[in-house]
Amino acid sequence: MLGILLTPLMDYFEVQSSPLVNVLLLMVALIFVAILYLSISRTRKNKLIDVIELEMLQKHELLIRPKSILFTSIY
């Protein structure tokens, strides 16, 4: 419903651009998203390290196997 209401405004935002400009804008957007992702990841890791000392925890191996197709189709 919101898209239908915004349709008349789309003509104002239509700007002609070359493929080179489009590629540059895409690259800038991808770099920005990557930097944002890495900064959020680093912040969350630092918060985890503040709460838990990972070096002090015991290390275990966990083997995860997918369910068989035969068993998933029965249920």
**What percent of the chain lies above the pLDDT cut of 70?**
85
Q: Which two tokens stand for residue 46?
A: 């630092």
Q: Which two tokens stand for residue 26?
A: 């895409």
Integer Cα distance of 6 and 61 in angstroms = 53
pLDDT in tens, 2-33: 778 888 888 777 888 899 999 999 999 999 99
Asked if pLDDT for residue 72 goes beyond 70, the answer is no
Q: What's the pTM value of the predicted model, to 2 decimals?
A: 0.54
Output the pLDDT for position 15: 80
- Compute the average pLDDT of residues 61-69: 72
